Structure formats: structure tokens, C-alpha cells
Amino acid sequence: MSPGMTSAPALWHVDPATFATIVGMALVTYASRAGGYWLFRRIRPNPFVRAVLGYLPGTLFVSYVSPALLQGGPPQWVGAAATVGLMLLTRSIGWAIMGGTGTAWVVWLLLR
Amino acid sequence: MTGEPASFTRAGILRGMRRSLPLIVGLTPFGLVTGILAQAKGLSLAETTLMSALVYAGASQILALGAWTVPAPIVAATLSAFIVNLRMALMGPVLTPWLERFRGWRVWGTLFFLVDHGWALSVSEMRAGRNDLGFLFGCGVLLWVFWVITSILGHLLGSWLQPPPGHPIFFAALAAFVSLLVPMWRSTRDLLPWAVAIATACLVAWLLPGTSWHIVAGALAGSLAGAARDSTARSVDLR
């Protein structure tokens, strides 16, 4: 992979390990999409499992975000605060991402 | 759900597509970031397109690309995609009144295109008394097309811009997760599981840097803590 110009192989090359990773991700993602309905027609999960699944999305996202923010600096911290603020105000993921990234960029330029 | 049995019509598909159009504003930066990140991690345009077309789940793609290694992290990326996307297993059962009327591709093909936003629109459609599975299919297909297009654009822009590592454009990936986190906060009941998740994730990230185990450990520890607290509360109520 040359860092400069994008060559034809850089555009069309498919690495076997990368392909296997994509297929693996695609299979488990489809299993998640279809598997819930497929299972639901057969079994009834108990309340404890339902409670765990209910908490999983939020806890997973904070587990991704918190160490990354801890390792970041003022641009990331101010940018994250701006993202949360914009999300609460506009309820639009698009505006929140753009505004938060723009804010982080401004802080980064000011501190450079 | 009472009323007419569910249908799968062309009008439903078109209605789903129309209703999802405004969501493209939210999807575009997410798709661009996925493409830019893929380009920065050395994925070719073909690999980026394949990933977006086959996986079609932004959070898991950004998560995998953020922790990308050479050779590609087959086990880690597959496992983390499963954990990130497991939430979608909860979405299908809610739409049972629409799905149970059908067999074959109408069910299993439509579920390939299941995404958070399309699902949310379909739930409100169902609550309004409309019973057209084509709506979910229309939402999913339209968002899939724009997801693939914006990923490709991001990859092309990324190779043209070549942002250095540490550039704030990469913060957009983190900002996407932060923005998705906001609607996930339901009530103060989330406080304990989130606090346990944050503490566990930060500890594991410090112990095992450069992996994505902190996400698995944090999510499981936080969710188990929340469910354990709830079942303790329930048994106290019963007494």
C-alpha cells in the first residue's frame, strides 16, 4: 500500500485475510439481524436474559467511548461535550457528528 | 396488533424509501468516516465496498477499522461485530406482526436490510396501524444504497486528503458513537450499569492496550450488573 498516489491495485486488490474478516463480520451481523426473530418464534428468553440484552447496547457504547476519551486530550473532550449537546438539542446524528467534529477541530487548531 | 393482515406492496416499499430520505443527512458523515477510516487503514476500494455492502452496520465497521491490524483481525473483528450488532436481534421480534405472515426472501431478505433507523420508523408505522412489510424493506434498501455510496466517496476522499494520524477528522468516528450513545440513555436505572461498564472498560483498556477486549468486558460487566440489580429488586418486591 503506497501512501502517496492511489494505484489500481490499491483500489481493486482483495486480500484473503481481509476478505475472510469481512465475510465473518457479515455472517455474524446477518445472524444478529435474522436470529432474533428466528429464535423468538421458538423460545421465550427469561427476564434476566432480557434485562442483560436491554442493558447491552448502552454499556457497549460507553465501553467504546470512555477509554478513547480518557486517552484523548482537550480537543476530544470539548468535541464530545459539543456532540452530546448538539444531539440533545437537534436529535440529529448528522448535525451532532459534524458539529462535534468541527468543535474538536477548532480546539485542535487553537492549541497547536 | 389487530386489523388487516400484513402485506408486502410496492406502495409500502416506496413509502419506506420516502420516509427514510431525511435520514441520509445523518448517514452521510457516518458513511464518509467509514470510508476515510478504511482508506487510512490500508483497505482497497473493493474491500471497503464489499465491507459496506455485506456488513452494512456502521458502528461495527468503525469499531473493526479502528482496531484494524495487518493481517486482518479475523477473530477479533468478527467477535466484536457480533457483540455490537447483537442489539439487532432484539429488533426483529418487535416486528413479528409484520414478519409472521411471510415466508422465504420477504422475511429473510428484508431482515438483511434491518437497521436501527429503518426499524424505528417501522415501529411507529406499525403503531399507526399500517401493516406493510415493504415499508421496512424500502427503508433498508434506500439506506443501504446511500451507505455503500458514501463509504466509496469516503474512501476516494481519504486517498485524496491523506489526513495524518491524530488529525481531528478521525474524531468524527468517536463523535458518531457519542451521538448514538445519547438516545441510549433511558433513565437513572442506566446509571449503575454504565458506571460499571466505564470502570471495567477503562481498566481493561489499560491492562490490554491495542485490543477491543475492553468493549466486550465493559459491556458484559455493566449489563450483568444492571440485570443482577433488577432481579434483586424484583425478589425484594415479592417478599
Rounded average pLDDT over A74-81: 96
Q: How many CB pairs under 8 A join A and B?
A: 295
Looking at residue A5, its pLDDT comes to 47
Query: Cβ contacts (< 8 Å) between A40 and chain B: which residues?
Result: 92-93, 96
**What's the pLDDT band for B167 if we cut at 50, 70, 90?**
confident
Residue found by looking up cell 436481534 in the block: B89
Amino acid at the residue B189: R
For residue A74, the distance in angstroms to the closest alpha carbon of chain B comes to 11
Q: What is the pLDDT of residues A12-22, one digit of tens each?
A: 899 999 999 99
User: CA-CA distances (angstroms) from residue B128 to B43, B125, B132, B205?
Assistant: 44, 5, 11, 45
Residues 66-85 of chain A with CB under 8 A from chain B are: 66-72, 75-76, 79-80, 83-84
Q: Where are the alpha helices (DSSP H) in chain A?
A: 8-12, 16-40, 47-71, 74-90, 93-111
Task: Give the predicted TM-score (pTM) of the model.
Answer: 0.71
| Surface-to-core class of residue B75, CB atoms within 10 Å of its CB (0-12 exposed, 13-18 middle, 19+ buried) | exposed
Residue found by looking up cell 399507526 in the block: B128
Of A86-100, B120-134, B191-205, highest mean pLDDT: B191-205
Q: What is the pLDDT of residues B171-211, one digit of tens each?
A: 887 887 788 788 778 889 999 999 999 999 999 999 987 66
